[in-house]
Structure 1
Amino acid sequence: MRSRVLIAPDKLKGSLPAPAAAAALAQGWRSVRPDDELVLLPMADGGDGTLAVLAADRPDARWTPVPTVDAVGRPRLGRYLRAGDTAAIELAEICGIAGLSPLDPMGSHTIGLGIVVAAALRSGAGSLVIALGGSASTDGGAGALSALGAQLVGVAGLLPPGGRGLGGLAAVRADRLALPPPGGVRVLVDVQAPLFGPTGAAFVFGPQKGADQAEVAELDQGLRRLAAVLGTDPDQPGTGAAGGAGYGLAYWGAQLTPGAEAIGELVGLPEAVRRADLVLTAEGRFDAGSLTGKTCGHVLRLAARDGVPALVVAGSVAQEMAAAAPGVGLLSLSELAGSVRAAQQDPARWLVEAGRQAAEAIIG
């Protein structure tokens, strides 16, 4: 019997973008079941690769380059995607952690993001979409706010960039802060973390950005001071995203939105799931975090809601996920390839193989 199969993967971080992952899974599936209707819907959750998904969905969109700086202040060329009246910006492309060496957990900042946002505003964009995943910094969005015209004042004058100076924040002067566009600012977050505390930006994500235990504590205190001065609710889900950049942008007036849900709405994911006989999704590692705001978790929730069988293909699968996602098929590229390294060296090959095996399982 001919089936309609929805293939809705995220990127495999550091290995393969979502559109290429979808194509590889489809190739493997077609080698076994060529008559099935395959619907390819590459996904993102607000992390790196989000603009690639939006660009694929909007062929009328145009890229605009913007000279800016990376997370440690080095000149680089950023960009935003303009589709109609909306400009979309991805933090990971501008001041993300990928490729940054050495890491600078205390000095990294979001100034570059603010520069690109300001350029989009000057171009006349009526609304903004900002994807926040993949950051290198824990500055609470202070760098972005400063690039947008805010003055963050410390006891000895203007604060130095990065999370290191936040503990000395005395006041903010917002009279020159750029106004958000009339259509608003929608910030896509891939985590629901609050700004500070044991589940906040510094403690959960600081070590991934190179912070040791003492630095994590210092960064957390800095974020607490930022919240005390700015006054925006630090417990709002997503304020801890991107080292607290979600918080700084919320202070500016942005709406924080779960990224996978927002991208799904833009590309028509809910309707595609409803019409499918089977859903395939994929990501680099499928673990407990996948079910808390990430693409795979969102796709699985939609599939469960509509009673559609689902299969997850991942570079690696945490052992506990068989129990955490009951009834969901799981395929690990690392197991297919024989090792994590082998899977990472040629992810497209092993995604093709995963697609083939998934199709054979349907026949069986």
Structure 2
Amino acid sequence: MKFVLAPDSFKESMTAKKAALAMEKGVKAVFPHAECVIVPMADGGEGTVESLVSMTNGEIIKTEVIGPLGEKVIAEYGLLGEGQTAVIEMASASGLELITPKERNPLLTTTYGTGQLIKHALDKGVRRFLIGIGGSATNDGGAGMLQALGVSFKDQDENELPFGGGALHRLHSIDMSGLDKRIKTVQMDVACDVTNPLIGDNGASAIFGPQKGATTEMVRILDQNLAHFADVIKTQLGEDIAHLDGAGAAGGLGAGLLAFLNAHLKKGIDLVIEYTGLEEQVKEADYVFTGEGSIDGQTLFGKTPYGVAAIAEKYSVPVIAFAGRIGNGVESLYDNGFTAIIGILKGVTTLEEALECGEENLAFAAENVCRVLKL
């Protein structure tokens, strides 16, 4: 028998790899000779680097970069086992969690550190990038990232623009001559699960600005600045990115990646499935186990278990999903590739106890499912 074990992390309890190993323990207790293929999963957000690095026996690279407010921070990215692919979570260098709520100010925050991570990976010989752009503290249209890679943004007095979305209204000219030449030779995949345009009522500033510290007046200014940024890009580069789906992701970082780095924006789970080679493993499987901390009706909207189930459904492979919490609306999942959804808790418990005993509970639940399958 072949089991493909492809869970996401159970947040605050287990990494995706630890969850898969717990599942394996449960399977082996009933089917000691079964083949268990461990494929730690993620959805392109937090945990993606860890999952793909562990899947490919790669390594975590740490380096000093400029953080969201110009301070020095230690950021990291993943170098996959073949040595040619980098996985970057922009939040590691330019994320909201790097600054306190009182410090949040999208007029000032920059994506410069994200560009430094890309450059560091290029120096390592990387030819393919997967960039997750969730959790940003920024609203600069990716200008900081591009400055780190050699693009020059100047005002009418030929001065380089300072960091932050608050300076974009001064943009007069764009000089691409200094852009790192290696960018043209690499593949740039971007995990992006939002479809917001760069500007407007559903744009980067209006929808995501407030959580980054923007007041109502700041939202208005930032939106106008990004509109100006987009106009200059259209006039000087011929790229119309103001209303493209996903351009507003990460404070407009999506727009910068599209316009300057020829990036491809895709759903995070689809990219992780591609990078892990999950489909090849599922084709010949007898069962697929997946799961994450919470499963409910929202799981259908791009969450990891649904992505895994969709692949398994193509090959008529049964899918068992495990969760610490099963919420409302799960009935719809049974019509979308899920065979069963199993809660892993043994009884009434505190949240602290549930998180602490996650691996034990998951292994026990997987074992019980396998005892049923053995019948």
Question: TM-score scaled to structure 1, two decimals?
Answer: 0.82
Contact 1:290 / 1:297 at 8 angstroms: preserved in 2? yes
CA shift digits 1:106-165 (9 cap, x unpaired): 243311111121223344444433333333333322221121122334579554433344
Give the superposition deviation at 1:23: 1.2
Contact 2:40 / 2:52 at 8 angstroms: preserved in 1? no
CA distance in 2, matches of 1:180, 1:337: 56
SS in 2 for 1:245: helix
- 2:143 paired with 1:173: no
Q: 1:44 aligns with which of 39, 42, 51?
A: 42
Structure whose alpha-carbon radius of gyration is higher? 2
Contact 1:191 / 1:294 at 8 angstroms: preserved in 2? no
CA distance in 1, matches of 2:369, 2:167: 51
Give the superposition deviation at 1:91: 1.9
Amino acid at match of 1:54: L
CA distance in 1, matches of 2:218, 2:72: 26
Amino acid at match of 2:329: E
Amino acid at match of 1:245: L
Give the superposition deviation at 1:41: 0.7
SS in 2 for 1:181: helix
Task: Indicate the residue corresponding to 1:92 in structure 2.
Answer: 91
Task: Indicate the residue corresponding to 2:66 in structure 1.
Answer: 69
- Cα distance change of structure 1 residues 251 and 4 upon mapping to structure 2, 3 Å threshold: same
Task: Indicate the residue corresponding to 1:267 in structure 2.
Answer: 276
Q: Cα RMSD over matched residues?
A: 3.3
CA distance in 1, matches of 2:212, 2:367: 37
Contact 2:60 / 2:77 at 8 angstroms: preserved in 1? yes
Task: Indicate the residue corresponding to 1:23 in structure 2.
Answer: 21
Task: Indicate the residue corresponding to 2:188 in structure 1.
Answer: 186
Which range is displaced more, 167-176 or 249-258? 167-176
CA distance in 1, matches of 2:218, 2:334: 35
Task: Indicate the residue corresponding to 1:150 in structure 2.
Answer: 151
Contact 1:286 / 1:317 at 8 angstroms: preserved in 2? yes
SS in 1 for 2:137: coil
Give the share of equivalent positions with the same residue, in percent.
32
CA shift digits 1:20-42 (9 cap, x unpaired): 12112222343444444322111
Task: Indicate the residue corresponding to 1:161 in structure 2.
Answer: 163
Give the superposition deviation at 1:195: 3.0
CA distance in 1, matches of 2:325, 2:215: 27
Contact 1:189 / 1:241 at 8 angstroms: preserved in 2? no
Equivalenced residues, count: 361
Q: 1:226 aligns with which of 220, 223, 229?
A: 229
CA shift digits 1:302-337 (9 cap, x unpaired): 122222222333343441233355362323457966
Which range is displaced more, 225-234 or 163-172? 163-172
- Cα distance change of structure 1 residues 353 and 336 upon mapping to structure 2, 3 Å threshold: farther
- Cα distance change of structure 1 residues 139 and 195 upon mapping to structure 2, 3 Å threshold: farther
Contact 1:135 / 1:242 at 8 angstroms: preserved in 2? yes
Task: Indicate the residue corresponding to 2:329 in structure 1.
Answer: 320
- Cα distance change of structure 1 residues 161 and 99 upon mapping to structure 2, 3 Å threshold: closer
- Cα distance change of structure 1 residues 335 and 230 upon mapping to structure 2, 3 Å threshold: farther
Which range is displaced more, 99-108 or 40-49? 99-108
CA shift digits 1:67-122 (9 cap, x unpaired): 21333333122344444344443323333334643361524331111112122334
Question: TM-score scaled to structure 2, two decimals?
Answer: 0.80
Contact 1:91 / 1:113 at 8 angstroms: preserved in 2? yes
Unaligned runs of 5+ in 2: none
CA distance in 1, matches of 2:112, 2:332: 42
- Cα distance change of structure 1 residues 288 and 201 upon mapping to structure 2, 3 Å threshold: farther
Give the superposition deviation at 1:341: 4.8
Amino acid at match of 1:67: E
CA distance in 1, matches of 2:154, 2:374: 65
Contact 2:193 / 2:266 at 8 angstroms: preserved in 1? no
Amino acid at match of 2:232: V
Q: 2:258 aligns with which of 245, 250, 253?
A: 250
Contact 1:280 / 1:312 at 8 angstroms: preserved in 2? yes
